[in-house]
């Protein structure tokens, strides 16, 4: 299963909208099917953090996904 970081628009119980960076997983047709809770940045080294942050910044240039569009 392939995944990457993506921005997802969500809403809380009071219907207040907010966005977060999540890990999004795709099926064989490259359709997003699952997502994680918003992620934090952690790793075993500064290089790990650098790679993670780079990949998260890349997600900001992609269309925002909507939580309700996941099956």
pLDDT one-digit tens code per residue, 5-62? 999 999 888 889 999 999 999 999 999 999 999 999 999 999 999 999 999 999 999 9
pTM of the predicted structure, to 2 decimals: 0.89
Strand, helix or coil for residue 69: helix
Strand, helix or coil for residue 68: helix
Q: How many residues would you count in the chain?
A: 71
In this predicted structure, the answer to whether residue 63 has a pLDDT above a threshold of 80 is: yes
Specify the pLDDT at position 10: 93
Q: What is the token pair recorded at 24?
A: 């999004």
């Amino acid at each position: 299963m392939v995944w990457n970081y993506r921005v997802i628009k969500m809403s809380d119980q009071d219907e207040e909208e907010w966005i977060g960076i999540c890990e999004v997983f795709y099926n064989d047709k490259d359709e997003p099917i699952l997502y994680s809770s918003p992620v934090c940045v952690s790793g075993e080294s500064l290089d790990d953090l650098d790679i993670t942050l780079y990949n998260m910044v890349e997600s900001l240039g992609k269309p925002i996904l909507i939580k309700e569009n996941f099956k």
